[in-house]
Structure 1
Amino acid sequence: MSTLSPEAALALADRYWRVCGEVRALPSYADQNFRISGEHGDYVLKVAHPSWAYADLDLENQAMLTLAAREPSLQWPRVMSSIDGEHLLALFMEDGVQHVRMLSFVPGMTYAEAITAVSPNRRPALHESLGRAVGLLIRGLADFRHPAAGRAQDWNLMSLPAVRGEIAHIEDAALRAIVAAQAESFCAKLPVWRAQLPITVLHNDANDLNVIVVLDGQGGGKVDAIIDFGDMCTSFRLCELAIACTYAMQHEADPVACAQAIVRGCLDLCPLTRVELEQLYDFIVARLCHSVLMATRAHREQPDNPFVLVSQQGVRALLHTLAGIDPNAIVAPFLETCHE
């Protein structure tokens, strides 16, 4: 994929969206993203990698449009229409046809950055605000449908069986034993859960780099946005909450209390069934196992790339911690209250 210069990106923004201003490239794994700061606000021009299909990007756009309309209290990225009224353009470039779109830039700090600036006594409020954001996400996409939502997605927890072969390649014996036991247990329960648990379209990636926090200047902060819809899929509704818990818990000395605050915030806005709550521990642990297995595969395929394991320290530490706690510890306070 040839590299688009910032100047060329700005020319596209001006021609198709009449957006002008200062432009700079943003880091991205595969796509090319450019932040444009203009008189009327900040925007992100996104040039998709040629491997992305129109339907995949339309799925993301339609989800953001739906959430902006249904749950406006959170600052979802806004999808900007071109001067011709289109929200996703197929433009002929050097590498062929590529899809281009414009989103609003969401200000604030990532959760991973902001958590160190929040006072310890204010963290429970931040955790509850994360839970409320997840509740809005679940509620806003409750009956959302799209033809591409059923696509295969590596990070869909329903796909965990496909990476079980990586267990044998985990070098740490103690970690390998935990992942083997937990992943095999989760995979064995999948057929029953498919019949029991609500399944819906998910954002599927409310991790600490995709959650945006606004600080209040007094040692506190609240979640103001969730970004990056690239991992959307159809899976268990519970995954949305489990994923948010998984990444926030890694920053805390008391991960159980952290998860309880997130659950409390979520349930304030989006009741879950008792049977869902009873599986939350299994889903959190499964997400951690999934992360270990995906990183193990990436490291095996790219042994000289130091970045494929960069986020694993927190993941593996939390997995060891959770392996030694009561599976009901997180949800016990909520099981006797009323849910759907």
Structure 2
Amino acid sequence: MSSGDDRRPQALAKPAFSEAQACAVVESEFGFRVSEIQPLPSYDDQNFRVRVSRPGDALGGPTEYVLKISNTESSKNPDLIEVQSHVAMFLHEAGFPTASVCRTRDGGVTSLVSVDSGSQTKSHVVRLLTYLPGRPVAEVPVGPRLLYEIGRLAATLDKTLEEFHHPKLRCLRREDFIWNLRNVPLLEKYLSALGQDRNREIVGEVIRLFKEEVTAKLSHFRECVNHGDLNDHNILVESSEPASGDAVFRVSGILDFEDMSCGYYVFEVAIAIMYMMIESRDPMGVGGHVLAGFESVIPLTPAERGALFLLVCGRFCQSLVMAAHSCRLHPENAEYLMITAKTGWKHLQQMFAMGRRAVEDLWFDTARSYGCGVPV
């Protein structure tokens, strides 16, 4: 589930390729003939799952891919999409379960295609990625062991990206990108999407505290490149059945690098905690398990730990406010846009009702209980 950005209102247009047009793109740009195609849900891009027929001299390679068609606004920044694609390739080569990128006929990782939309011609960046197996975390029962592994994955990913180099890496310094966690204060201009109720009061309070206690202390956090959207639909898992009969899940896929930006280690763990809370039966208890996994690789500093509660609240606000804003603009996509909102407001309200100290104590006590152990 890609999360969009603050340029959506005027300039951004979601692609509207027909299945026939998508098949033609796969053939013309990547040289494959499509034998089967299926639309996939998306936020502001367009995705298709495609099965391809390979020529006799290329048998044995992947036959299932995802065709990603970027929206018009994102397509104006092909350098950013190129960097995101190279990050996925770098992580794949490092052993992470990310998609590999299919090269175009010209040897590139992306291609720019133009379509006639009736009144005008629109250009879209397209990519073809290998299809990853598994089910989204949102669809499986998530216990402490999987939460720990997701926290560990988030830290390992960020640590591995310390070694990533690319001549266009500066593209990830997205200062005004609404989904960079440092930009929670930018939500102020979208508050009109909320009613005059308790939810709006909470968001206003989060923004105020964020400015005072996070924005003012960013220099105390350690910088890194963030995936930025390790949510419960962007992490895929597969299960195995041990002798006990209880399913054990392992991560089989990491999706969607569209929200990547330069950030901080503590941002990644806060984002993972927030999204793992969404479907949990014990949302307040999630944070400690994710934190324990993350800190098994990258222990947080006292300053970073001190910001964690507000950062998790800030990500809730980003997701909930921008979903409400986007629903006003695109009511036809409301069901997909409001996935997080179904339980998100309730969780944010509960965090405030419990209070910062109580939530932090729960998270930190749980993380401390691991010691050097791993959940079973």
The TM-score by the shorter chain falls in which range? Answer: 0.7 to 0.9
Equivalent runs, 1:110-189 vs 2, <5 Å: 110-115=136-141, 123-144=143-164, 146-151=169-174, 152-167=176-191, 170-171=194-195, 173-189=197-213
Equivalent runs, 1:46-125 vs 2, <5 Å: 46-52=68-74, 53-70=77-94, 72=95, 74-94=96-116, 95-115=121-141, 123-125=143-145
Answering whether residue 18 of structure 2 is matched by residue 27 of structure 1, we say no
Contact kept? 2:112, 2:123, Cα under 8 Å? yes
What are the Cα deviations for residues 305-330 of structure 1, in whole angstroms up to 9, with x where unaligned?
74454531311111122111414221
Match of 1:319 among 342, 348, 368: 348
Equivalent runs, 1:190-229 vs 2, <5 Å: 190-217=214-241, 218-229=246-257
Residue 18 of structure 1: aligned partner: 31
Contact kept? 1:204, 1:232, Cα under 8 Å? yes
Moved more, 4-13 or 310-319: 4-13
Match of 1:5 among 18, 23, 26: 18
Aligned-pair distance for 1:87? Answer: 0.9
Q: Distance in 2 between matches of 1:37 and 1:242?
A: 36
TM-score normalized by the length of structure 2: 0.78
Letter matched to residue 287 of structure 1: R
TM-score normalized by the length of structure 1: 0.85
* Runs of 5+ consecutive residues of structure 2 not aligned to the other structure: 1-12, 54-61
Q: Distance in 1 between matches of 2:78 and 2:351?
A: 40
* Matched position secondary structure for 2:127: strand
Contact kept? 1:46, 1:100, Cα under 8 Å? yes
* Matched position secondary structure for 1:142: helix
Q: Distance in 2 between matches of 1:231 and 1:191?
A: 20
Aligned-pair distance for 1:168? Answer: 6.7
CA pair 144-190 structure 1, distance change in 2 beyond 3 A = farther
Match of 2:360 among 319, 328, 339: 328
CA pair 25-238 structure 1, distance change in 2 beyond 3 A = same
Letter matched to residue 158 of structure 2: I
Aligned-pair distance for 1:92? Answer: 4.2
**Which ranges of 4 or more aligned residues in structure 1 deviate by more than 6 Å?**
335-338
Q: Distance in 1 between matches of 2:164 and 2:205?
A: 35
Contact kept? 1:127, 1:261, Cα under 8 Å? yes
CA pair 100-304 structure 1, distance change in 2 beyond 3 A = closer
Moved more, 161-170 or 197-206: 161-170
Q: Distance in 2 between matches of 1:10 and 1:179?
A: 44
CA pair 312-30 structure 1, distance change in 2 beyond 3 A = closer
Aligned-pair distance for 1:242? Answer: 0.8
Answering whether residue 67 of structure 2 is matched by residue 45 of structure 1, we say yes
Contact kept? 1:45, 1:100, Cα under 8 Å? yes
* Matched position secondary structure for 1:43: strand
CA pair 261-99 structure 1, distance change in 2 beyond 3 A = same
Contact kept? 2:156, 2:297, Cα under 8 Å? yes
Aligned-pair distance for 1:204? Answer: 0.7
